[in-house]
Structures are given as C-alpha cells and as structure tokens.
Structure 1
Amino acid sequence: MPLENTLASSLLLAMPGMDDPNFSRTAVLVCQHDGEGAMGVVLNRRTDVLLGELFEQLGIEGAAREMKGRQVLWGGPVQVDRGFVLHDDPRPWPSTLRFGAFGLTSSREILHAMARGDGPERYLVMVGHAGWGGEQLEGELAQNAWLTVPAPEAMVFDTDSEQLWQVAAGQIGVDMANMADYSGHA
C-alpha cells in the first residue's frame, strides 16, 4: 500500500535524547509525507528577525506595529533563504501547500495582503523548512527519535513557541521532562 500523507498535519516532537542540534527540543509540523519523503516546519525556534525587518527587506509597507513586532521563526535547516507563511486561511493563495486545515504559502502576495490587513488572521512566518528523503523519517520514528502527536490549530497558532514542545506532548499525557534521554538519536 503506498504511503500517502500519513503524518501530514501531525506534530513531530523531538525526543529528549535527540542529538541533532537542528532538532533538539523541537516541534515540527508535518506538511507533506509520502513515498518520496517528508517536509515540515519547526514551530518553536525563534530567529532574531522581526516581521517588520523582513517586510522592510522585501519593500513591503503599511503593516501594523503589532504585526511588525512579531518574531520570524526558524522553520528548519533546508532552504533557509526561503520564507513561508503557515496559516489556516482557506482562500486560494498562490504557491500554497494545503494539508488538513493548514496552508503553507511561499508567495510574497500573502505578505503584501497581511501588511494591508487583508491576510490570514492566524499565521506564523518562518524561514527554511525541514525535510526527509524517502523512508528517512520512518527510520527515525523506528529509532524513537520523534514522538508523534495531533496538531490542533488552536495549539499551533495560540501556544507560545517556547512552551509548544511540552504543551504538545502534554495533550497525550506525556511530560517530556520525565522522558529518558537515551532514546531518540536520529
């Protein structure tokens, strides 16, 4: 049976023993997962860049002060020169990957709309993404490198990024502080 988006819209939580510094204590939203591999975005790593600075670099004007003060997230170590907007807006934005209730958009059009006040209400802006080759993620899951949990929209968009790893595990009754650190060496 072919593997078709089996983990899309799920969160991968790095187990405490994850020795890859790119993913230590991360919560990764899986955006696509099939026989070719998987793609996701890290939701709980902030960059030093504010959205206002990003807008300025891109020549986008008119954003509200509150929006300009939001931090851009580090979505992962792949294509760190590329930006993404994770949102739950059902409108047909160009260059958007849809999975479950989420959309991941890489078009500047959505950023311009956000600055005008016509973009998604709930969103996260990030640079880069995470990626796995065919069956690589399955191998890491078999090694207990990741804990897989649901990704409710409210938790994804409304939980402080620094608390997301623990909050996401808590929804299935897991306290990451009590997990052994000798499992999970992807």
Structure 2
Amino acid sequence: MSLAGLKDKRERGFLDGQFLIAMPGMFDSNFARSVVYICAHSQAGAMGFVINRPQSITFPDILVHLDLIDQHDAIMLPERTRAFPIQAGGPVETGRGFVLHSDDYLSDSSIPVSDDICLTATLDIVRAISHNKGPSRATMLLGYAGWGAGQLESEITNNGWLNCPASEDLIFDRDLDDKYERALALMGVTPAMLSSDAGHA
C-alpha cells in the first residue's frame, strides 16, 4: 500500500495501530530487529514506519536542503529544534519525509492514523517545527514500509512478525538502541524466547 492508499482508506484493518516486531528469522535486512508501526491495513495491502532505525541526516540538514533556512541560520537554531529526531522509516520513497505526531497539530494535509496520532507529509509541519510551533510529540521518518495485497499476512503466517497493540510512548521515544527489546516486553517476551523457525506440531 502507498501513501495514496492511506489517504483513500475506508476500512480499518486488524493491524491498524499495531506494532509489527521482526522475528529472528526475518530474511529481509531492511527489517531485521525492526519495530514497525502500522498506519493502514486493508485488503489492498499495508503501510507503516520502522520506528527504531537511526538516520544520519539531521533536522537542520533537512531545513537547509529544503531551502527553508541557510547554513548560518541552521547553526543558530535552538538545541530542541536541532535535536528533533529523524529516523529511517522504511525502504520505500527514502527521499521523502513523513512526520508522525500527536493530534495537537493539524493541517489540511494531516491524516489521522489512530485516535491520538496523525501523519503529515507536507512542508507546513516542517516549518512549524522549525519555529517551535509544531506538535508536542513528533518524529520525522524518511521513507516508509509498504506491502501489497496479502503480502504482510503471508509474512506473519510464515513466522516473520509478531504483532501487538502500539504504544504511543514507544513510537515517540528517542532512545532507539533497545526499542526492539522494549517492544517485545509489551508482549511479555524476551529475544531469547523467540525461535527463528515456525512452530509446527
């Protein structure tokens, strides 16, 4: 599913608002030890964001790249703005930025993805954040994860993923190093308990 599919979605799938947590046997290096927040799931496919992958690009880098400020102004930004988190959201459209955020900021282009979380992928939110007028909780992700019809269901059946209800605190937590373990802990699971082989009787 693409971002356009998210905008057009009419039904909520059973994975909407869920975390996907990669199993040890995950064959795709893009998703090894990843935690994915699913924003949309339907018969047409699924779309979400990896929330535990660091990104070397900084928020000031993005502001300069978008010509919103020049290099000198970037140096003068307050520390809170300079430290705004940027993450690698997935292997699709990696040059495009998306902001997951709390619902205290809304624009015409914001898309609600849960009762409390929205997605905005336009320059207005980047400008708002740079002027300290953005949402109270937010993270920017470059790229997203997308699955075609039936693809994600097949990966779950083949023991590729665990799923559980998402934690808003974990989505916006800036400490990425142990986010995988903390997501598993939501289910009462530790990495040592997981097998890379599907369990068949």
Superposition TM-score, scaled by structure 1 size: 0.91
Residues 26-72 of structure 1: per-residue CA shift (max 9 Å, x gap): 00000000111000000000111111111111122474222213442
1:75 counterpart residue number: 89
1:23 corresponds to 2:31: yes
Superposed counterparts of 1:72-151, under 5 Å: 72-100=86-114, 101-151=116-166
Determine the C-alpha separation between the residues in 2 that align with 1:159 and 1:69: 10
1:39 alignment counterpart: 47
Q: Which has the larger radius of gyration?
A: 2
8 Å Cα contact 2:102-2:118 kept in structure 1: yes
Moved more, 23-32 or 147-156: 147-156
- Judge conservation of contact 2:102–2:138 (CA < 8 Å) in 1: yes
Per-residue displacement from partner, 1:94-121 (whole Å, max 9, x unpaired)?
Answer: 3222121211110110010111111011
Shift, 1:3, TM fit: 6.7
Report the RMSD for the aligned CA atoms in angstroms. 1.9
Between the two proteins, the alignment pairs up a number of residues equal to: 183
C-alpha distance in structure 1 between counterparts of 2:108 and 2:144, whole Å: 18
1:143-182: CA deviation from partner (whole Å, max 9, x where unpaired) = 1100101112112212612211110110110002331123
More strand as a share of residues: 1
Cα 1:182–1:119, aligned 2, differ >3 Å: closer, same or farther?
same
Q: Does 1:175 align with 2:183?
A: no
Alignment gaps of 5+ in structure 1: none
Give, in angstroms, the shift of residue 12 of structure 1. 0.2
**Letter matched to residue 27 of structure 2:** D
Equivalent residue number for residue 5 of structure 2: none
User: Alignment partner of 2:33: what SS?
Assistant: coil
CA contact (8 A) 2:159 2:197 kept: no
Structure 2: gaps of 5 or more residues = 1-9
| Structure 1 SS opposite 2:129 | helix
Moved more, 105-114 or 68-77: 68-77
Residue among 35, 59, 66 paired with 1:58:
66
Q: SS at the partner of 1:134?
A: coil
